[in-house]
A and B are shown apart, each in its own frame.
Chain A
Amino acid sequence: LSASELEEKYGTSINKGLSSSRAAEILARDGPNSLTPPKATPEIVKFLKQMVGGFSILLWIGAVFSWISFGIQFAQGAESPFDNLYLGVVLALVVILTGIFAYYQEAKSTNIMASFSKMIPQQALVIRDAEKKELPAEQLVVGDIVEIKGGDRIPADIRLISAQGCKVDNSSLTGESEPQSRSCDFTHENPLETKNIAFYSTTCVEGTATGIVINTGDRTVIGRIASLASGVGNEKTPIAIEIEHFVYLVAGVAISIGVLFFIISVSMRYKILDSIIFLIGIIVANVPEGLLATVTVSLSLTAKRMAKKNCLVKNLEAVETLGSTSIICSDKTGTLTQNRMTVAHLWFDNQIYSADTSEDQTSKYAQPFDQSSPSWTALSKIVTLCNRAEFRPGQENLPIMKRVVVGDASETALLKFAEVILGDVMSIRAQNKKVAEIPFNSTNKFQLSIHETDDPNDKRFLLVMKGAPERILERCSTIMINGKEEPLDSEKAEAFQTAYMELGGMGERVLGFCHLYLPENEFPDTYPFDTDSMNFPTSNLCFVGLLSMIDPPRSTVPDAVSKCRSAGIKVIMVTGDHPITAKAIAKSVGIISATSETVEDIAKRLNIPVEQVNRREATAAVVNGMELKDMSLQQLDDILCNHSEIVFARTSPQQKLIIVEGCQRQGAVVAVTGDGVNDSPALKKADIGIAMGIAGSDAAKNAADMVLLDDNFASIVTGVEEGRLIFDNLKKTIAYTLTKNIAELCPFLIYIIASIPMPIGTITILFIDLGTDIIPSVALAYEKAESDIMNRRPRNKKKDRLVNEQLAVYSYLQIGIIQSVGAFVTYFTVYAEQGFLPSTLLGVRVDWENNAINDFEDSYGQEWTKYQRMYLQWTGYTAFFVSITIQQVADLIIRKTRRNSIFQQGLFRFQYWFVAVPFAILIWVYDEVRKLFIRRYPGSK
């Protein structure tokens, strides 16, 4: 569209802008130019949700029943109605406290919109009523004429109508870090690619521009991404699903047993009130009150441990999710790679040399190529001189690789490369004084500079040039081989082409270097070099060599990827980069293993067209974003299923989302790593989103469940290990906790059926669940891994449940029953030694609990008052409690391991158990002495 057509379309004038009244009208229609925050659930609703979720509802029922029975008993004037009141209060407290705990955890999970809103520019320069005005960006409307300059944030989506050297940084939108030039020319149908549109929230790096606002607020591209991210529902984490499943299971058991025994006790002619009290007891016995808190504590302990290893976990449940991850969709830049250009290969003397690309290269001796060739000397001189990048001053103590450089990515790479090998580049440049320079531009695609030489006897000038290899070669007539200039014939040009193709094929950015010593007679000392008229030769130069650069993979990544492999995790690379580069990096880190081939590779090898290749033969696939666009969901599923090694290149944010969804359709638990705003929808959609701590944008960090503080892919592997460990350990914890449920439940059942005195009270049960059992359950979370958990496949979401049949049956029907038997033996022992032999106890319940009977006869003919019986009953509670606790110690020890023998896992050395015994005795004796003194001398201070 031309400028006038634009004017017409948006009803504006380029020179005068909108009128204030018209602007106000549109503002009223479209709303302010800001992102709408998502509808927040009111805090109180969130809180109440916590109060009724999970077991809470069961406990509430228990509490309400307690209060009802208290009310009835109180009205009837019974002896001790307050027990039920207290029980109700305790139950309610338990629910409220766990609710608050859970609410607090949830409240910590952050609001994603917060960071989007932070990106909104504050002021914008607008033309309205033919005047330039500073307006808050929120008041911009469609049709406004906006002026932007370097450093500004773009206030809305803008169609440029004039631009002077304008460059924008779209990294927050597309993830590409290179600034992109913007002009008023329409270059592409895709609005994201075309050059005449600048996007809301991106930054203008340099230049100035004027444009018409075409979209505001939520209708801008970033607004759409933001609404995409907030529209992506939070998927339930696997552990949340597992816990829900567990809650259903236990609640089901509790309710069915409770109702069953309610019916039994009613039909056994118990009073309804009594039956209700039994029901409460059964519910309380069945519900592991402390478990959810234990799980949370275990998870946060693991989260802390992971934080030490640079994985910051925002969402606690994500800890476990990571462990069950089966696919990792990883971003390339910054995660797999170092996110900095580094010289990877050199070509001179007709030979390709590779350079060191590790993160911490320090000396030239580490470089694995031949530095003795005179061609290298020449090449290094060009690299050093034909370069405008400089180190920021004051960084002499930092390692070269960490120093900050002013200059673009390739020049930085070259500067660092030279600094490492040659030493002080700045002083070399000083010795070879620059006399003229043509900086790089996109039309001639080379950079040129002319220097004095450092040899005082040599008065010639040195012309050095670097640029796109084919352009450089065009300007050369000779080529340097082993320090000698030789004519550039077709054979040598062929060699150059091969090398160029090879380096390019590795996904590297290739630069060509050439030089020329200007003859002294033509260009004397005082020769006035003029870069505009180019009064010096720029052809027939001498070609010296090629240098290729790449953003190299982090050195820890290949190892981490292979660990993921052995742990059964598929690593998929999803990047906005060029397919060739993506593939090269994928190969070098092992995402595409050395032996596997893509369809294209096979076609090339067999020399047949791509269509004829059997797609099943190819284990690897490189999928271009453009291809992905035209793919149906089935085709995508097909790719995800049939290829074990996949790279997606040139992908857009929406496509990332599609890929993640595709993986999830396969039933996989998907982890996504990313850093840009563009990644945030995918991060949110993923089962676990992992953001980069250093490079990551705030939006990405907010959308993610986990933040890698060192941006290192290898940390993910650590996280996976911890996640798997915590799943194993939670299983142990739950098995441990479930066991005693039966020992708590059996007393009620036997009490109802056999009418014996109550073996254990409801409050005592709560005391076990919330008191003595919590610490051992938490301790199980510290259990170290048994076998090498990183060699297992990820757990199957459907089959490897947290609580499965075997675990429940084993805990409930075997260990639990043994425990109950043990506790009952204790119970009967206590009663027998006090005068009630087991045979006497059966069926005594009604008389036993009758307040009016105060001469209740025991097995020996002694008579007991009601209170004496209650006192005995409490002793029984204690005995039952103690025996459960003691047996839980054994339970704890058996749960320590799942497969290994406890002796393999290594228990504490036996003798150490006894070292402190004398001190234990000392404490006891000492305290007895203290008590003796208190008795002897009461009231002394």
Chain B
Amino acid sequence: MARGKAKDGDGNWKKFIWNSEKKELLGRTGGSWFKILLFYVIFYGCLAGIFIGTIQVMLLTVSEFEPKYQDRVAPPGLTQVPQVQKTEISFTASDSKSYEPYVKNLEKFLKDYSADQQTENIVFQDCGEMPTDYKDRGPYSDAQGQKKVCKFKREWLENCSGIQDPTFGYKDGKPCILVKLNRIIGFKPKAPVNDSLPAEVMAKYSPYLIPVHCAAKREEDADKIGTVEYYGMGGYSGFALQYYPYYGKLLQPRYLQPLVAVQFTNLTYDVEVRVECRAYGQNIQYSDKDRFQGRFDIKFDIRSS
């Protein structure tokens, strides 16, 4: 079409496709076609070369270990496991098929947290049972080889660890979810200042902890949520600071981000219940536009039969 000659009209196009007098195919002779194709091969070849070249040069300027800018990724998001399709958990307690995807998703996620995965002492480091301060592991480069990673014991998640109950409470209609703070290289979350927190969070306070708390999204749902159990390191519902900062995929390939398990033991059935979980910290913010920044909301719909 771009050749623009298609409209010459009245049988001319036949001549245009193959002109036997001048031995022209589509208005050009073989030699001419060869030349033009050669030109484009060279032209596009050079362009591709330039393209790849500049991309390579650009990649040279980018560090392997940490990204140049993080202004789009911070402050971190808060996300949950299981994640299936939508941020919605809907199942029937008596029907194992209905919650199978959630269980599988949790199981898959927790595989890396099993004790037998954390045996190599070159990689893993025991960071204690209680929240402590940040663990700085030097510069973001492989000058000292890979960085060590704090262990996170699956047992800490108790009822939600899947050890005693492989269905994570789903068969009893008491679903567990895992809460995690999105990984960001070099990000050091700061523990919250006391007075800004809800009373329930204050109950178990530590200065080395980013507390997590879940509550009804809407006021009127408050009574439908029932009791919420939190399981985490040392029984705290929050992320301990010794797991930060994160050193990136290359330096900490087997990094285990701290988790908080949340179990809803007495959710009202047959009603949609919206729950919002928040992480609290001085440098954890919330945004109206990004509803997953420092918090998330999840919808439960448990059917009784």
Contacts and interface: CB of A to CB of B under 8 A. Distances in A.
Interface string B65-81: 11111101100110100
A825 interface: yes
B289 interface: yes
Contacts of A861: 183, 185, 246, 248-249, 252, 255
B97 interface: no
A837 B249 CA distance: 13
Contact of B296 (A832, A854, A864): A854
A258 to B, nearest CB: 12
A833 interface: yes
B54 A825 contact: yes
Interface in B75-95: 76-77, 79, 83, 85-87
A374 interface: no
B83 A835 contact: no
B122 interface: no
A855 interface: yes
A864 B67 CA distance: 13
Contacts of B252: 861
Given A825-B51, A834-B67, A852-B85, A863 B58 contact: no
Nearest to B8: A798
A833 B62 contact: yes
B82 to A, nearest CB: 11
A809 interface: yes
Contacts of A256: 1
B33 interface: no
A863 B87 CA distance: 17
B180 interface: yes
A804 interface: yes
A166 B185 CA distance: 106
A853 B249 contact: no
A496 interface: no
B73 A814 contact: no
Interface string A829-852: 100111101100000000000011
B14 interface: no
A865 B249 contact: no
A850 to B, nearest CB: 9
Interface in A200-248: 248
A648 interface: no
A803 B250 CA distance: 54
Contacts of A825: 51, 54-55, 58
Describe B's contact surface by its main secondary structure: loop
Contacts of A866: 290, 292
A868 B86 contact: no
A656 to B, nearest CB: 31
Interface string B260-293: 0000000000000000000000000001011111
Of A248, A805, A865, the most chain B CB neighbours within 10 A belong to A865
Contact of A249 (B2, B58, B292): B2
B43 interface: yes
B50 interface: yes
A472 B59 CA distance: 104
B40 interface: yes
A832 B65 CA distance: 12
Interface in A859-904: 859-868, 871-872, 875
Nearest to A855: B79
Contacts of B44: 817
B3 interface: yes
B58 A829 contact: yes
A837 B62 contact: yes
Contact of B293 (A805, A818, A851, A865): A865
Contacts of B35: none
A808 B73 contact: no
Contacts of A805: 2-5
Contacts of A852: 83, 85-87
B2 A855 contact: no
A773 to B, nearest CB: 21
B289 to A, nearest CB: 6
A346 to B, nearest CB: 63
Given A809-B2, A854-B79, A862 B69 contact: no
Interface in A761-819: 801, 803-805, 808-809, 812-814, 817-818
A865 B47 contact: no
B147 to A, nearest CB: 12
A461 interface: no
Contacts of A854: 77, 79, 87, 182, 292, 296
Interface string B8-35: 0000000000000000000000000000
A299 B185 CA distance: 58
A824 interface: yes
A812 B292 CA distance: 43
A854 B249 CA distance: 18
Given A808-B4, A865-B182, A867-B293, A860 B248 contact: yes
A416 to B, nearest CB: 60
A805 B79 CA distance: 55
Interface residues of B, number: 50
Contacts of A249: 1-2, 4
A875 B67 CA distance: 16
Contacts of A818: 47
B249 A868 contact: no
A865 B185 contact: no
Of A249, A851, A854, the most chain B CB neighbours within 10 A belong to A854
Given A249-B1, A865-B182, A865-B293, A871 B72 contact: yes
A828 interface: yes
Nearest to A248: B7
Contacts of B215: none
A859 B249 CA distance: 8
B184 interface: yes
A406 interface: no
A825 B47 CA distance: 12
A129 B72 CA distance: 98
Contacts of A858: 67, 73
A929 interface: no
Nearest to A798: B8
Contacts of A860: 65-67, 185, 248-250
A493 B87 CA distance: 120
A151 interface: no
A837 B66 CA distance: 12
A867 B182 CA distance: 13
A253 B2 contact: yes
Given A817-B44, A855-B180, A862-B185, A833 B55 contact: no
A865 B77 CA distance: 6
Contacts of B87: 852, 854
Nearest to B252: A861
A828 B55 contact: yes
Contact of A868 (B2, B7, B51, B290): B290
A524 interface: no
A814 B183 contact: no
Nearest to A253: B1
A863 B183 contact: yes
Contacts of A872: 72
Interface in B214-258: 246, 248-250, 252, 255
A272 interface: no
Nearest to B7: A248
A858 B73 CA distance: 10
Contact of A803 (B4, B72, B86, B182): B4
Contacts of B7: 248
A606 B67 CA distance: 96
A865 B289 CA distance: 11
A821 B51 contact: yes
5 contacts: A248-B7, A834-B72, A835-B70, A854-B79, A862-B73
Given A249-B4, A833-B67, A852-B87, 10 more contacts: A253-B2, A814-B43, A854-B79, A859-B249, A860-B249, A864-B77, A864-B182, A865-B77, A865-B293, A867-B290
Closest 4 CB pairs of A and B: A861-B249, A867-B290, A865-B77, A863-B182
